[in-house]
Amino acid sequence: MNAILVVNAGSSSVKFQVYKASLARLVKGQIDGVGARPRLRAENADGQELVNSTFAAEHVPDIPVAVDVVGKWLRETQEVDLIAVGHRVVHGGPEYDKPVLIDDTVLTRLDRYVPLAPLHQPNNLASIRAIRSHRPELPQVACFDTAFHRGHAEVADHFAIPKRFYAEGVRRYGFHGLSYEYIAERLRVVATDIARGRVIVAHLGSGASMCALSNGRSIESTMGFTALDGLPMGTRPGQIDPGVVLYLIQQKKMSPEAVENLLYHESGLKGLSDVSNDMRELEASSNPAAKLAIDYFVYRIGLYAGMLAAALGGIDAFVFTAGIGENSATIRMNVAEKLGWLGAELDRAANAIGNLRISTPKSRIAVLVVPTDEELMIARHTLAIVSNSKISAGAPLPPKGKIA
C-alpha cells in the first residue's frame, strides 16, 4: 500500500503519522522521553494500541536514533510502501513561503535558521538527515511553520530598526502556521460564514501564539523573528523588553548561551510558577505561584486579543485550538471573560463539554473550539508536491525497503 509518512520532531520527541495516498490516517504515534525515558507508542485509525514499548536511555540518546527506532518498528509491523516523507520545519526564513522538496541546497539554507529556532530547527533537520542516510531516493518535503504568515503587509513585518537588517532577514515571521492554515481550512467546512470574516485563533499549547485571520488569510501574529515572542509559553517568556536581555548580559554578566537557556528552557509558566511548565499540573496545584502563572497566561491572551482585533478592525469570532485550547475548559472560561468587552458571552455548559461553538446565541462574537491537525496539513502538502513531481507522473515508485 502506498503511503506518506509525516514526521514532527521536537526537542525530546518524534511524533509521526502514516497516511494512505487518499490521506486516510493509518497510524498515529510518537516516541518521547528521548535521552531520558524513551517510550514508543502508536495506535491505528480506530484508536487501537499497536505498540507501547520503553527503552533504556542509552539506546535512544538523540533524535536521529529515535527516527531509526520509529522506522524499524514501521518496517517490521506495517505493510506500507512509502512514496514520500513530510516534515514540519519551524523556520523557513525569508526564502521559503511554501512547502519545498528537500535537496542538499535546501538543507544547507535551512541550517542558517537554527539560531532562530534552537528548540526545533536542529531536530527538524536531524530527522530529515536520518531518513536520507537510509533512503536517499525517498522524496522528503519540508513544510514550514512560517510560510502561512508570509503574506503579511510590509508594515506588519518590520521592526523599527535600520532597514538593512530587514534585507538580511531580520523581520517578524510568525509561527504555528501549519496549525493556523488547517484551522482556516476547517472553518470553511464547520463555520462557512465565520471563515470569511475576522477571526482570532489562539493556538494554546506548550508553545503558544495567536493569529488574526481575515477571510482565511493571516494578517498579523503574536510571534515574530523567533518563537520567543508574544504569549508566555511552557518554558518561554513571550514578550519581553529587549532591555532585560541587555541587563542580563551587561549587569548580570550572563553569557549569550546562558541567556538563551534562560529564555528557552527556564522561563514562561515554568519560571513564573516554579512548579511546572504543564498547564494540567498548574491547574491542579494549590501553590499561589501556579495561580499567578495561569492568571498571567490568561491576562496576556486578553491583551493580545485587543491588539489583533485592532489589526482586523473588529472581530467576528475567536477560536481556541491546540493542547490547552482544546482541553482546558477553565482556561477557555477565563479567557472568554477577558473577551467580554469584545462581545463574547460564554455558554458554560457547552464549554464544559468542549462543543464546537461555546458561545451563547446572544454573544456578539462566536467563540469556537476547533481541534487542529498539523500532521494532516503536512500530509496534504507532501502529497501535492509528490503529485506534481516525476514520481507520480509515470516514474516507478521508490523501491520497498528501509523506511528510516
Distance of CA 236 to the CA centre of its chain: 14
Residue 57, all three cell numbers: 536511555
**Is the confidence at residue 245, as pLDDT, over 70?**
yes
No. of helices (H) and no. of strands (E), the chain: 16, 13
CA atoms within 13 A on the CB side of 308: 31
The span from the CA of 23 to the CA of 373, in Å, is: 12
Where are any strands of DSSP class E within 223-264?
none
The span from the CA of 169 to the CA of 159, in Å, is: 11
Beta-carbon contacts of 66 under 8 Å, excluding residues fewer than 6 positions away, are 9, 13, 14, 31, 34, 38, 60
Q: Which amino acid is at 176?
A: H
Give the mean model confidence (pLDDT) for residues 335-353: 97
> What's the chain's length in residues?
404
Would you call 145 a catalytic residue per the annotation? Answer: yes
118 confidence band (pLDDT: 50, 70, 90): confident
**Is the confidence at residue 392, as pLDDT, over 60?**
no
User: Can you give the pLDDT at residue 398?
Assistant: 34
10 Å CB burial of residue 19 (0-12, 13-18, 19+) is buried
CA distances from 339 to 117, 213, 309, 328 (A): 31, 17, 11, 17
| 249-289 confidence digits (pLDDT tens) | 999 999 999 999 999 999 999 999 999 999 999 999 999 99
The span from the CA of 381 to the CA of 402, in Å, is: 23
The span from the CA of 224 to the CA of 278, in Å, is: 24
**Is the confidence at residue 140, as pLDDT, over 70?**
yes
Residue 15, all three cell numbers: 511524533
Which among 145, 157, 229, 316 is annotated as catalytic? Answer: 145
**Is the confidence at residue 404, as pLDDT, over 60?**
no
The span from the CA of 3 to the CA of 24, in Å, is: 10
The span from the CA of 201 to the CA of 188, in Å, is: 14
Q: How many CB atoms lie within 10 A of CB 143?
A: 29
pTM score, whole prediction? 0.91
Phi, psi of 62 (to 5 degrees): -150, 180
User: Can you give the pLDDT at residue 329?
Assistant: 97
Range in 3-7, 70-74, 359-363 the model is least confident about: 70-74
The span from the CA of 114 to the CA of 290, in Å, is: 32
